[in-house]
């Protein structure tokens, strides 16, 4: 559904066209000075420059045309040619009702919806996730929620790291501990057991053991490398172990991702595209794009316009092995050939420190014709830092496990709830559910509220606060609206039709009106913080409305019904927006 800003822009655009100017000059946006106007149009200055006319003269013509529009209460020219617009109370009332009754809470579908793959998560098999995985998970999941909501067809893929030296370490270390397992008998014809010989705890122990040994002993490291080579060459026992490692790891990963309300459509990894690599390498060779260099096969992707050095893509190294460049290219080929409908764009939500890697891959993919380079986007993000401004670590200096972060957030949320005035009849199960929701709101919002490309400081005490710009504050704001409506219903007072008359009511509806623009902006820029800002401003606008006017306690029946309708519109939009951020709102708290 079209917002007031969009309808006014269409009207202003038509007015510009009527005087022989381009409609694009009619863009209308929220006023920088709400005390003077609801909306403003600044196009007269640009139009005057293009037409060689006086800006104020054009503005007077456009304002005159706008005054007759049914939404407009007044349209006045200020300064050299700014047009200040106030909309009528009736227009705001109708808009509030539209938001309240709309399945999208006032937003509208994107005009350029596309089939989009979102590659995020990037967890490694047999390695516990750490705090560095938090951002990819939360940003990627929020993008998939927003894009789907706005009409995109989205396929999300966790893209597991399951095809490297760590697999060789696991195989060899397991062989040292349990040499009698049939997986190590090269002559065994199969079939192999369905039950895994290891648990996630075993994997968490075996990998660091092997890794430490390999660092101290080159022969031990070479043994792991040989195991990887044999696995990649198709040794059945090792492939069976790999499948076990993946299955056991995925079950553990789903627990941590599930806590954060993060989900994926595909749980594929690098090993899933191994079969494509020989053919892919041959295609690069046949196209004359690959060349040998010191025993390796590389693809030059540098351009004359490059301002910085652009190293070549390493297709096959001098030992005959392949790395991330090749598996990422094979993954693109796999998606383009197997996913239906065929992807039109792919978004990679990965630490911005990997920007060079993705630029190399995208260029190589474009050269071979796998997909147009412009349809591949790296959605980079900054780091989660400690008080020292460096990537967050444990007190001992190690990488902080994500499971520990989640446990810390839950503990801090429980402390905050212990100090809160919770309903006396709230049982242990309900309280535990609320604590989990608070923890998730704290972690997700504290990440998403920041401009994606910046770093931020990890501060659980602040993140879990019910005051300030936090997830728990927004959650509590939504719960408060629901409480107002619930208490009104208990008193047999129902929402009626919105009838806006007061300044705080006007401000509230104007904020509601910005939801669609915020969502489309967040989608276009891949910046969830734009949606976060809108929801925080909406919560503040409701707080001002709540403080200024009685709602359920209003004695006048018509005013009470109207204000309950406004509260219901806010509830609907807040809950819709928070759900897009992956935040669930409890019934009470």
Peptide linkage before 341 cis (omega within 30 of 0): yes
Residues 322 and 415 placed together within one structural domain of the fold: no
CATH number at residue 14: 3.30.1360.70
Residues 221 and 351 placed together within one structural domain of the fold: yes
Of 128, 133, 125, residue with least CA distance to 160: 125
Residue pair 399/132 in contact (Cβ under 8 Å)? The answer is yes
Q: Would you list the DSSP string of 194-251?
A: SS-S--HHHHHHHHHHHHHHHHH-HHHHHHHHHHHHHHHTT-HHHHHHHHHHHHHHHH
Q: How many residues does the chain have?
A: 589
Lookup: tokens for 352: 């911005």
pTM: predicted TM-score of the whole model, two decimal places: 0.94
- pLDDT for 424: 87
Residue 152 lies in a domain: no
Residues 59 and 188 placed together within one structural domain of the fold: no
- pLDDT for 390: 84
Q: How far apart are CA 585 and CA 348, in angstroms?
A: 29
Residues 437 and 363 placed together within one structural domain of the fold: no
Lookup: tokens for 166: 């760590």
What residue numbers bound the domain in which 421 lies? 402-580
Counting other chains too, the contacts that 69-72 makes at CB distance below 8 Å and 24 or more residues apart are: 69/8, 69/11, 71/4, 71/7, 71/8, 71/11, 72/8, 72/11
Q: How far apart are CA 432 and CA 346, in angstroms?
A: 38
Residues 468 and 552 placed together within one structural domain of the fold: yes
Residue 383 lies in a domain: no
CATH number at residue 264: 3.40.50.620
- Helix ranges (H only) for 19-132 are 43-51, 55-66, 89-101
Residues 314 and 410 placed together within one structural domain of the fold: no
Task: List per-block mean pLDDT (blocks of 10 residues) for the chain, which spans 589 residues.
Answer: 93 97 97 95 96 96 97 97 97 98 97 98 89 94 98 97 91 97 94 95 92 95 93 92 96 95 96 94 98 96 95 92 93 97 98 97 98 98 89 71 93 93 91 97 98 94 96 98 97 98 97 98 98 98 98 97 98 98 96
CA gyration radius, the chain: 29
CATH number at residue 424: 1.10.730.10
Domain end residue (candidates: 87, 103, 122):
87
What crossing angle do the helices spanning 557-580 and 133-149 adopt, rounded to 10°?
130
Residue 144 lies in a domain: no
Domain end residue (candidates: 378, 393, 425):
378
Q: How far apart are CA 533 and CA 518, in angstroms?
A: 8
- pLDDT for 137: 97
Domain end residue (candidates: 87, 122, 152):
87
Residues 23 and 70 placed together within one structural domain of the fold: yes
Residue 139 lies in a domain: no
Lookup: tokens for 197: 């010989």
Q: Tell me which residue has tokens 């997830």.
A: 471
Residue 445 lies in a domain: yes
What lies within 8 Å, CB to CB, of 475 at 6+ separation is 437, 438, 441, 578, 583, 585, 586, 589
- pLDDT for 216: 95
Q: How far apart are CA 285 and CA 279, in angstroms?
A: 10
- pLDDT for 163: 84
Residue pair 380/350 in contact (Cβ under 8 Å)? The answer is yes
Of 161, 131, 120, residue with least CA distance to 526: 120
Residue 119 lies in a domain: no
Residues 420 and 493 placed together within one structural domain of the fold: yes
Lookup: tokens for 15: 């007015």
Residues 223 and 359 placed together within one structural domain of the fold: yes
Residues 365 and 410 placed together within one structural domain of the fold: no
Residues 329 and 412 placed together within one structural domain of the fold: no
Residues 424 and 374 placed together within one structural domain of the fold: no
Work out the angle at residue 456's Cα, subtended by the Cα atoms of residues 452 and 462, and round it to the nearest 5 degrees.
120
Residue 365 lies in a domain: yes
Count how many domains the chain has: 3
- pLDDT for 394: 66
Of 546, 580, 509, 549, residue with least CA distance to 88: 509
Residue 92 lies in a domain: no
């Amino acid at each position: 559904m079209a917002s007031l800003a969009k309808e006014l822009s269409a009207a202003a655009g038509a007015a510009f066209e009527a005087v022989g100017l381009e409609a694009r000059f009619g863009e209308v946006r929220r006023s920088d000075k709400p005390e003077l106007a609801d909306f403003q149009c600044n196009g007269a200055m640009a139009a005057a420059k293009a037409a060689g006319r006086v800006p104020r003269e054009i503005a007077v013509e456009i304002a005159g045309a706008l005054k007759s529009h049914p939404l407009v209460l007044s349209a006045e020219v200020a300064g050299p040619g700014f047009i200040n617009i106030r909309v009528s109370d009736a227009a705001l009332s109708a808009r509030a009702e539209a938001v309240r009754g709309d399945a999208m809470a006032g937003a509208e579908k994107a005009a350029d919806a596309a089939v989009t793959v979102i590659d995020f998560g990037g967890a490694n098999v047999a390695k516990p996730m750490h705090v560095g995985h938090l951002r990819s998970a939360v940003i990627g999941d929020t993008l998939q929620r927003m894009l789907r909501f706005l009409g995109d067809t989205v396929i999300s893929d966790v893209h597991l790291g399951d095809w490297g030296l760590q697999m060789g370490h696991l195989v060899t270390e397991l062989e040292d501990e349990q040499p009698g397992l049939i997986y190590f008998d090269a002559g065994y014809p199969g079939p192999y057991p369905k039950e895994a010989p290891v648990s996630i705890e075993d994997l968490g122990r075996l990998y660091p053991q092997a890794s430490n040994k390999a660092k101290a002993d080159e022969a031990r490291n070479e043994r792991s490398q040989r195991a990887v080579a044999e696995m990649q060459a198709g040794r059945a026992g090792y492939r069976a172990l790999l499948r076990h490692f993946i299955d056991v790891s995925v079950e553990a990963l789903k627990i941590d991702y599930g806590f954060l309300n993060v989900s994926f459509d595909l749980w594929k990894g690098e090993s899933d595209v191994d079969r494509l690599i020989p053919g892919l390498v041959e295609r690069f060779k046949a196209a004359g794009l690959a060349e040998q260099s010191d025993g390796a096969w590389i693809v030059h992707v540098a351009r004359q316009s490059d301002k910085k050095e652009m190293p070549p893509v390493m297709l096959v190294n001098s030992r005959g092995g392949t790395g991330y460049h090749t598996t990422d290219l094979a993954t693109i080929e796999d998606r383009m050939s197997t996913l239906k409908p065929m992807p039109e764009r792919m978004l990679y939500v990965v630490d911005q420190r990997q920007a060079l890697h993705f630029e190399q891959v995208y260029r190589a993919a474009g050269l071979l014709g796998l997909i147009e380079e412009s349809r591949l986007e790296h959605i980079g993000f900054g780091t989660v830092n400690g008080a020292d401004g460096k990537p967050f670590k444990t007190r001992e200096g190690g990488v902080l496990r994500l499971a520990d972060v989640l446990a810390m957030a839950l503990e801090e949320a429980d402390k905050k709830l212990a100090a809160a005035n919770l309903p006396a009849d709230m049982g242990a199960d309900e309280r535990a559910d609320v604590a989990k929701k608070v923890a998730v709101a704290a972690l997700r919002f504290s990440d998403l509220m920041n401009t994606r490309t910046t770093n931020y400081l990890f501060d659980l005490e602040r993140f879990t606060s019910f005051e300030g710009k936090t997830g728990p504050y927004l959650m509590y704001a939504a719960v408060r609206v629901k409480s107002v409506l619930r208490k009104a219903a208990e008193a047999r007072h129902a929402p009626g039709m919105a009838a806006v008359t007061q300044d705080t009511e006007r401000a509230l509806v104007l904020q509601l009106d910005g939801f669609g623009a915020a969502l489309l902006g967040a989608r276009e820029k891949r910046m969830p913080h734009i949606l976060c800002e809108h929801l925080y401003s909406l919560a503040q606008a409701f707080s001002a409305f709540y403080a200024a006017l009685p709602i359920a306690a209003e004695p006048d029946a018509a005013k009470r019904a109207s204000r309950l309708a406004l509260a219901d519109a806010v509830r609907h939009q807040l809950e819709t927006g928070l759900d897009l951020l992956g935040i669930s709102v409890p019934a009470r708290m």
